Amino acid sequence: MDGIVVIDKPAGVTSHDVVSEVKKILGAKKAGHTGTLDPLATGVLPVCINEATKLAQFLSAQNKTYLATMLLGVQTDTQDTEGKVTEKSDRVVSETEIQDALRRLVGKVKQIPPAFSALKHKGKPLYKYARAGEFPEIPAREVEIFSLNVRDISFPYVTFDMSCSKGTYIRTVCSDVGHALGCGACLSGLRRLQSGFFTEDMAVSLGNAAVAEKKKELLSKMLDMAESLPTFAAIEVSEWLAGKLRSGFQPDVEMMRQNVLPFLAAGDMIKFTDSDGCLVAVAEMQLSAGMMADQEGSAQAARMLRVFNKKK
């Protein structure tokens, strides 16, 4: 039982809680998510099961899409309504000012991660420092907001959707907008609509159904590992070659000449699958397809990143 189930995370529970419940329902040996959602947030939470936990590093790097609601005039220590109110303002701002402040965030921006976050500093989550009254200086990180659209303005609430790179804190987006407007703001509601390939349509709500019913639905909606990497070029290999790859063989030019796709470039991510479509390995191209003609057959063509055990 290896694959990915997309959970529609409810509000009020941690991502870790959801993973633990899924692991227990399925009786899985290993499980992990691909990117934390705060307890306040709902929506798309991909959970990797058993061998699929090896994919987390590739899936967590993908872009995300959110629907967020911002509360104007209120600042908190956590940058959302779950925290302690630190300041209030009755400053009135126009819809045009709000639109402009949000629009200016589109593109590459610098963000200072929230003090109350799971981001680790010297091996310890920031929220543990904050709870102890310690606030280490964390450098700003560059993130990218690809699009941001206001859906509704009903003072003091503003609802917007946004698409962004991994590591973007929507709480911080709200806090930064509030600072720019001079009235302060915090996040009051958040739903993740998409995480990379994974969408709301794929999500399973665990709800209050019996464990047996939950397990049946999770298994029916479990996604295959190979199909969960749609942007990785697929190369089908023989059972003999699949065995070599699983044993640690680094793909050389001789092997890749027979299998490589002509459009591949150095740095491209590829996935090897067997004749049954099962994921064998994930690798990164070290040479472009065009460069291989001038290389010796023993030269390394791709670097293995992860190998996956054959289903029993």
Instruction: Return d(Cα 227, Cα 198) in angstroms, integer.
Output: 11
Q: Respond yes or no: is residue 294 known to be catalytic.
A: no
Q: Which residues contact 240 (CB under 8 A, 6 or more apart)?
A: none
**Closest by alpha carbon to 71, among 191, 179, 189?**
189
Active-site entry in 38, 80, 176, 274: 38
Residue 153, Cβ neighbours under 10 Å: how many? Answer: 16
The secondary structure of residue 250, as a DSSP letter, is: P
Is the CA virtual torsion 244, 245, 250, 251 positive or negative? positive
CA quadruple 249, 275, 306, 310: dihedral, nearest 10: -100
Catalytic residues: 38
